[in-house]
């Protein structure tokens, strides 16, 4: 699979699956009438649909960052962290009310999930880096 797409999907799926578990646990704790599994399924489905544009923009950002500054690995991770925070807020801005409300906690949780995915997964796998090295063919006399 194309490396930037694979990396973007890993980040997206991590946030998409890990964050609803935490939100569902909180919602079921506060209101006992919710079913834990149904809340998770609902949050994952709605999150997947609403965050598809963010996934595509994240893929584009990863592709551009890898081509633009391939030498500075830490800079790429830091830039992707900022991009992920902004992209995490994108679906909430489209669907939320204009006033700041309880969605800020959910936004912070999803942003933390995507940033964690950026730092957990390796942007440049070892086989990718070793494949870039030229072969040295020396003949021994």
Q: How many CB atoms lie within 10 A of CB 29?
A: 10
Contact by Cβ (8 Å): 69, 95: no
Summarised one tens digit per residue, pLDDT across range 17-53 is 888 888 888 777 877 777 778 888 888 898 888 889 8
Q: Report residue 139 CA to chain centroid gap.
A: 48
Summarised one tens digit per residue, pLDDT across range 49-100 is 888 988 999 999 988 887 776 667 788 888 899 999 998 887 777 776 665 5
Asked if residues 58 and 11 have their Cβ atoms less than 8 Å apart, the reply is: yes
Task: Write down the residue that tokens 């679906």 correspond to.
Answer: 91
Domains of the chain, by residue range, sit at 3-124
The residue with tokens 């980040």 is 11
Distances (CA, A) of 132 to 48, 124, 137: 35, 11, 16
CB 91 within 8 A of CB 52: no
Structural contact between residues 10 and 117, judged by C-beta atoms closer than 8 angstroms: yes
Which of residues 74 and 119 earns the better pLDDT score? 119
Total-model pTM: 0.74
132 pLDDT above the threshold of 50: no
- Residue 76 CB partners (closer than 8 Å, separation 6+): 65, 66, 69, 123
Distance CA 123, CA 121 (A): 6
């Amino acid at each position: 699979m194309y490396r930037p797409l694979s990396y973007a999907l890993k980040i997206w799926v991590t946030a998409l699956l890990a964050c609803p578990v935490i939100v569902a646990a909180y919602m079921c704790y506060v209101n006992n009438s919710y079913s834990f599994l149904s809340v998770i399924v609902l949050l994952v489905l709605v999150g997947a649909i609403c965050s598809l544009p963010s996934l595509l923009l994240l893929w584009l950002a990863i592709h551009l960052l890898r081509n633009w500054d391939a030498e500075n690995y830490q800079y790429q991770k830091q830039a992707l962290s900022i991009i992920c925070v902004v992209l995490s807020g994108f679906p909430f801005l489209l669907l939320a009310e204009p006033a700041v409300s309880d969605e800020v906690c959910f936004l912070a949780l999803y942003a933390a999930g995507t940033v964690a995915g950026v730092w957990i997964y390796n942007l440049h796998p070892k086989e990718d880096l070793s494949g870039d090295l030229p072969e040295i063919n020396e003949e021994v006399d």
